[in-house]
């Protein structure tokens, strides 16, 4: 299979090069004798309607979980992928068609998700390692984009399988391939200050799948979720097991101010079928001055709707961020997010009790969208079988567990949306970019207080390091072509009082890539 695909890729590359480099030879007429030759008008060059790009990307992930208190098993995965994208523009029409294809193979014989549910490919006991299937550690083979597009000076539209970039439904391109959606959207520029988008999507392909489905990261068992293999083995779950819905509708109104008032702001609406309706506002204002200071804010509100497939949701997010450039190559930013808690008195299902550390078991059975394990959310009532449930976390159907959401305080391995938690978070980040834009380095420190004083707090800290180097000169415009390497490191400390200790968590991600 791999050999056939390699041959197919080479054949396709040869065909692409032939199409883009061969052209009919130019001819010119020879004037007849005794006739004065006239200068021929210069023909306008016609751009090639076909364009292509792609990358070869290889990753090595190591996740260190082992701890005397938790008995965790470390994880490691390597995977390499070939990604091809082509686009054809129909001359003088504004219409185009495009497609993206990705093939990935870990080159270790453990190429299926099912193989990771048993030894030696997965579900190993310490001191052996398990795969890190957030990468994932198995084969991918997918045509994740195939669309019809249109664009002119004021309007753009796209219909089909496609990658989109909005705050709460985005590409999440931090692994081998981006997330993709099935549907259509249209954007319109009303004038130089105002613009808008409207879309509907009812299919979803996550970062570790090779097919589209009609569910979300909150309503099915994702292959690439941390701990999936052990959970699947214990509970008999299979990839893509979950509850379907009708996708989501999306709208945006955006404003970009003039030079004398350079405010940029966007108001978004998401209506996710049978899960939640959400409004999201973001704004940023750069101030004058040598330090180039800026201030930004974000606000969101979300409530469950329809069948409330993940429970009753009632969440608000308030966020602020400020930044400046102490040096021309250095940016410093400080962000803060707050999600207030909600509470309700309930009668617990039979056999369900609040733990000694005020957490609920995984089979909680309560009708509220409560935090993931580790955040206190349950206080036993005076009457046996009753409790006060604390909830209020933000539900993110298309970024949950990915750490790719727009919150100012989200880090490499976690954030408040991933924890589904109420509480407070702060993040300090320092970024350096070289003069030639070929080297970038970022270090950040984030503090999370999941929970509150009424039910208890689970403090968590994370320190991240992210660096990237481009081997070739950066282009003045257009995409980069050539080799690049990237290394990311995350170290997390979190107090799980119910486990009695400080689990060890260190994440190393090495990426080598060639863009063409």
Which residues, given as ranges, of the chain have pLDDT below 50? Answer: 1-37, 225-237, 497-501
Q: What is the pTM of this model?
A: 0.87
Query: CA–CA separation, 61 vs 77, rounded Å?
Result: 5
Residues 6+ apart with CB under 8 A from 188: 154, 155, 195, 196, 197
CATH 3.30.930.10 matches 81-273: no
374 within 8 A of 458, measured Cβ to Cβ = yes
Question: What is the predicted pLDDT for the residue at 40?
Answer: 57
- Contact predicate 285/269, CB 8 Å: no
pLDDT score of 188: 98
Give CA–CA dist 413/396, Å, rounded. Answer: 16
513 C-beta neighbours (distance < 10 Å), count:
19
| Contact (Cβ atoms closer than 8 angstroms) between residue 135 and residue 176 | yes
What's the 3-state SS for 421-475? Answer: CCEEEEEEEEEEECCCCCEEEEEEEEEEEEEECCCEEEEEEEEEEEEEEECCCCC
pLDDT digit string, tens, across residues 373-412: 788 999 999 999 999 999 999 999 999 999 999 999 999 9
CA distance 401 to 469: 27
> What does the pLDDT look like over 40-74, one tens digit per residue?
566 566 789 999 999 999 999 999 886 555 567 88
Q: What CA–CA distance (Å, rounded) separates 313 from 323?
A: 32
Distance CA 372, CA 358 (A): 12
Predicted pLDDT at 127: 80
Residues 6+ apart with CB under 8 A from 315: 300, 301, 302, 303, 339, 369, 392, 393, 394, 395, 422
- Among left, alpha and beta (phi > 0; psi -120 to 50; other), residue 482 is left
Residue 204 and residue 182 in contact, taking contact as beta carbons nearer than 8 Å: yes
What is the model's pLDDT at position 39? 54
pLDDT at 233 (0 to 100): 41
Query: What radius of gyration do the chain's Cα atoms show?
Result: 26
Count the alpha carbons within 13 Å of 504 in the hemisphere toward its beta carbon.
Answer: 12
* Range list of β-strands (E), 154-293: 155-162, 180-189, 194-205, 248-256, 264-272, 276-286
Q: Which helix (H) or strand (E) holds 408?
A: none
What is the greatest pairwise CA distance in the chain? 114
Mind spelling out the 3-state secondary structure of 11-49?
Answer: HHHHHHHHHHHCCCCCCCCCCCCCCCCCCCCCCCCCCCC
Q: How far apart are CA 109 and CA 114, in angstroms?
A: 12
The rounded distance, in Å, linking the Cα atoms of 92 and 419 is 49
- Residue 305, pLDDT score: 97
């Amino acid at each position: 299979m791999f050999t056939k695909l390699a041959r197919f890729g080479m054949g396709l590359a040869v065909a692409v090069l032939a199409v883009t480099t061969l052209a009919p030879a130019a001819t010119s007429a020879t004037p007849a004798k005794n006739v004065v030759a006239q200068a021929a008008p210069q023909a306008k060059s016609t751009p090639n309607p076909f364009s292509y790009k792609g990358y070869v990307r290889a990753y090595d992930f190591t996740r260190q979980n082992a701890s005397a208190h938790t008995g965790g098993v470390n994880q490691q995965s390597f995977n390499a992928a070939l990604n091809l994208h082509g686009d054809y523009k129909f001359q003088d029409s504004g219409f185009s068609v495009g497609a993206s294809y990705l093939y990935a193979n870990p080159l270790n014989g453990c190429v299926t998700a099912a193989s990771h549910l048993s030894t030696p490919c997965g579900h190993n006991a310490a001191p052996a390692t398990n795969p890190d299937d957030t990468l994932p550690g198995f084969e991918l083979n997918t045509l994740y984009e195939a669309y019809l597009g249109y664009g002119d000076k004021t309007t753009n539209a796209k219909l089909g399988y496609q990658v989109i970039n909005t705050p709460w439904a985005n590409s999440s391109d931090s692994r081998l391939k981006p997330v993709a959606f099935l549907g259509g959207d249209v954007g319109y520029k009303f004038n130089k200050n105002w613009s808008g988008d409207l879309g509907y999507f009812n299919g979803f392909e996550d970062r570790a799948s090779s097919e589209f489905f009609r569910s979300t990261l909150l309503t099915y068992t994702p292959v690439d979720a941390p701990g999936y293999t052990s959970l699947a083995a214990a509970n008999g779950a299979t990839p893509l097991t979950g509850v379907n819905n009708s996708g989501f509708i999306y709208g945006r109104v955006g404003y970009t101010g003039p030079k004398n008032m350079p405010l940029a702001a966007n108001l978004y609406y998401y209506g996710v079928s049978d899960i939640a309706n959400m409004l999201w506002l973001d704004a940023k204002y750069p101030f004058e001055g040598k330090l180039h200071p800026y201030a930004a804010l974000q606000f969101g509100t979300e409530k469950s709707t329809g069948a409330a497939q993940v429970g009753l949701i009632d969440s608000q997010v308030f966020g602020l961020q400020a930044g400046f450039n102490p040096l021309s190559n250095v940016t410093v930013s400080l962000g803060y997010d707050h999600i207030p808690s909600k509470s309700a008195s309930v009668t617990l299902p039979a056999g369900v009790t609040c733990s000694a550390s005020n957490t609920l078991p995984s089979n909680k059975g309560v009708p509220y969208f409560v935090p993931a394990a580790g955040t206190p959310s349950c206080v036993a009532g005076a009457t046996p079988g009753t409790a006060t449930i604390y909830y209020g976390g933000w539900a993110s159907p298309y970024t949950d567990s990915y750490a790719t959401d727009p919150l100012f305080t989200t880090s490499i391995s976690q954030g408040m949306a991933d924890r589904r938690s109420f509480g407070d978070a702060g993040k300090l980040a320092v970024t350096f970019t070289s003069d030639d834009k070929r080297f970038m380095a970022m270090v950040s420190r984030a503090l999370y207080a999941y929970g509150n004083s009424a039910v208890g707090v689970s403090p968590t800290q994370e320190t991240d390091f992210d660096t990237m180097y481009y081997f070739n000169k950066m282009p003045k415009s257009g995409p980069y072509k050539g080799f690049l390497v990237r290394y990311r490191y995350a170290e997390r400390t979190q107090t799980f009082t119910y486990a009695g200790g400080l689990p060890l968590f260190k994440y190393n991600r090495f990426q080598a890539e060639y863009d063409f």
